[in-house]
Amino acid sequence: MDFQHICVIGLGYIGLPTSSMFARNGVRVTGVDINERVVASLRQGKVHIFEPGLNEMVKEVLDNGTLQITTSPVEADAFIIAVPTPFYEDKKADLSYVQSAAESILPVLRRGNLVVLESTSPPLTTRDVVKPILERSGLVAGRDFLLAYSPERVLPGQIMQELVENARVIGGIDEASALAGGDLYRIIVKGEIVLTDSTTSEMVKLMENTYRDVNIAIANEFSRLADRFGVDVWEAVKIANLHPRVRILNPGPGVGGHCIGVDPWFLVEAAPDITPLIHTARQVNDDQPAFVLETLKQLIPDLKGKRLALLGLAYKPDVDDLRESPAIEIAHHLVKAGAVVKAYEPFRTNYPLAGVTMTTNLAETINDAEAILLLVGHAQFKGLDPLETARMTPARLVLDAVNGWSREAWHAAGFTFERLGDRKHSIR
């Protein structure tokens, strides 16, 4: 198929880079978002998310006119739905954004169009949710228009590179839809393109992130066992990984982001009777922030009124994405325990967090702290000089939840140093 004009619905962490990449490759793109502030900001050339290389590319394609920004879909050759799929309190998938996006296409859907869902979704969403909505147009999927599912598989911080280089799976509701999806993504993708059916494509994305979640869960459980048995989990993992067939991941304060911390629940929701391992892994990782809290409480039994400085709130290092972040969950625990909490997230200094004083620099964060918690391994935090830090704060207790600092260096600077999952060297 020949695609001269693409309409991308949703201009967040995936939709905006995707729109920009297609536009950079000479396709006319209309980017759609219902958030009028996002639209107004983009029209002024201001990018609302941080991603290396994105700001420059957005400015380029806006300036040359290949990318237009609006609040509602327009007629196009292909439509890409890239809206969020969060979950409700009961861990059930919230597909309302996907449904609204599909409904917004109805007035402009025409014969011969291709519609691609990119939003991570439970199995059968394309076939059983999106297809019936689009067919309310009077057109029939597979006969009058084409319909496919192609999940994003990129890592924040490397999105612009991985959109191009990663393998891409495209699942159609029929063979013609899959082939059309292949034609579309070959415009920007240099990696392998794999064609399959839509439900397999949906499950592939969930399998990838569930696999990672389960492996992180065993690492986090090892950190708790190490704490129980007086072992340094970081040392133990390093030694265990010398085995040629073992690759244990590093533990941490939990799992966040919109993929690994969310996607496994979609499988549990779809088949709760046959997913006990997946469900347990999710519980382990969701409970890890509480383990951080318990580690701290063994050092400071009564947190009420204690002045604590949190370094990092993002779900992973060197990104501005705070979705489902375990660091935020830890902050909630500390506030509930009565602590006086300051937090410094260099990539989102204005993030509103109830009960927490957000700061704009390190000095402001630690100037009156009694303890410092390293919750995210941002490069600028890992590179802190302990001696210089000691001159900036009265705090002499640090808790490193991500193995980002040298115990010896911080001890030498006069700090009591505690590391998550390291009972071997603990003062407790």
Q: Is 259 a catalytic residue?
A: yes
How far the first Cα of the chain sits from its last, in Å, is 66
In the sheet with 146-149, reading across from the earlier edge strand, the strands are: 67-70, 28-32, 5-9, 78-81, 114-117, 146-149, 168-172, 193-197
Q: Which residue shows structure tokens 């393998």?
A: 167
- CA dist 224 to 171, 212, 301, Å? 40, 19, 19
- Dihedral in degrees, nearest 10, Cα atoms 352, 358, 359, 365: -160
Those residues with Cβ within 8 angstroms of residue 273's Cβ, 6 or more apart along the chain or in another chain: none
| Number of Cα atoms under 13 Å in the Cβ half of residue 31 | 30
Q: Which of 7, 131, 205, 382 is catalytic?
A: 205
Contact 334, 260 (CB under 8 A): no
Selecting among 7, 91, 190, 259, the annotated active-site residue is 259
Exposed (0-12), middle (13-18) or buried (19+): which is 37, by Cβ within 10 Å?
exposed
Asked whether 74 and 108 are in contact (CB, 8 A), the reply is yes
The answer to whether the Cα torsion of 244, 216, 289, 221 is positive or negative is negative
Rounded CA separation 353/305 (Å): 18
Residue 28: Cβ within 10 Å count: 18
Count CA within 13 A, CB hemisphere, residue 3: 27
Active site includes 205? Answer: yes
Active-site positions read: 205, 259
